[in-house]
């Protein structure tokens, strides 16, 4: 008898949990708004971010477009996107910004691009977002590809925009 009661209670609990786990109601949004939940993590974006991590400590060189010779910020982005995603990206940081689709800072996901005004010139620096407010970039200071945080004072004051090339 105890076994039947226990089995019935277990079955009832399972049915109750199944009934409560239906899809959540959809919230109405305007066509211009992309809720973060709808911008799921991109596998290709993860590939881009992982490839970027592999270039940490690569030397900096103004105009550099490959790791052997050294990389600048736009050369790093071009190299990584070509190698990891098969996407051809060309030009300066400003050119890359013009070709990307604008996204809100809150909608950033790994592989997206973050842009900064580092030389009193809009979109003068670019990095690849990793997640958790971190990004990989090739700054001329300290001469190596490295990870920094968007909320570090220097970058927080110079942050301009986010773009994606992935969707």
Residue 9 counted as domain residue: no
Q: What is the Cα–Cα distance from 58 to 100, expressed in whole angstroms?
A: 25
Q: Is the pLDDT of residue 118 over 50?
A: yes
Residue 27 counted as domain residue: no
Residue 146 counted as domain residue: yes
Residue 86 counted as domain residue: yes
pTM recorded for the entire structure:
0.77
Burial 89-111 (b: 16+ CB within 10 A, else e): beebbeebbeebeebeeebbbbb
Question: Which positions are catalytic?
Answer: 73, 125, 137
Tally of domains within the chain: 1
Residue 6 counted as domain residue: no
CATH classification at residue 144: 3.90.1720.10
Residue 136 counted as domain residue: yes
Q: What is the pLDDT of residue 141?
A: 87
Residue 71 counted as domain residue: yes
Length of the chain: 167
Q: What digits encode the pLDDT tens for the residues 7-59? A: 333 333 333 333 333 333 333 433 443 344 456 779 999 999 999 999 999 99
Q: What is the pLDDT of residue 83?
A: 98
Mean pLDDT of 102-118: 97
Query: What does the chain look like in DSSP terms, one character per residue?
Result: -HHHHHHHHHHHHHHHHHHHTSPPPPPP--TT---GGGSPPPHHHHHHHHHHHTTTTPBB-TT-EETTTEE-HHHHHHHHIIIII-----S-HHHHHHHSEEE-GGG--TT-EEEE--SSSTT-EEEEEEETTEEEE--SGGGB-EEEETTSHHHHHHEEEEEES--
Residue 142: which pLDDT band, with cuts at 50, 70 and 90?
Answer: confident
Task: Return the percentage of the chain with pLDDT > 90, whole number.
Answer: 72
Residue 62 counted as domain residue: yes
Q: Which domain holds residue 127?
A: 39-164
């Amino acid at each position: 008898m105890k076994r039947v009661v226990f089995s019935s209670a277990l079955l009832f609990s399972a049915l109750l949990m199944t009934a409560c786990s239906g899809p959540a109601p959809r919230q109405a949004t305007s066509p211009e708004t992309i809720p973060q939940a709808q911008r799921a993590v991109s596998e290709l974006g993860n590939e881009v971010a992982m490839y970027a991590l592999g270039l940490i400590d690569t030397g900096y060189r103004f105009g550099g477009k490959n790791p052997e010779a050294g990389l600048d910020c736009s050369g790093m982005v071009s190299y990584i996107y070509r190698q990891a995603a098969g996407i051809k990206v060309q030009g300066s940081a400003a050119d890359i910004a013009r070709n990307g689709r604008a996204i809100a800072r809150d909608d950033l996901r790994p592989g997206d691009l973050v842009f900064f005004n580092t030389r009193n010139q809009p979109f003068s620096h670019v990095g690849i977002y990793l997640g958790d407010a971190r990004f990989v970039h090739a700054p001329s200071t300290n001469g190596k590809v490295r990870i920094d945080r968007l909320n570090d004072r220097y970058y927080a004051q110079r942050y301009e925009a986010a773009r994606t090339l992935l969707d």
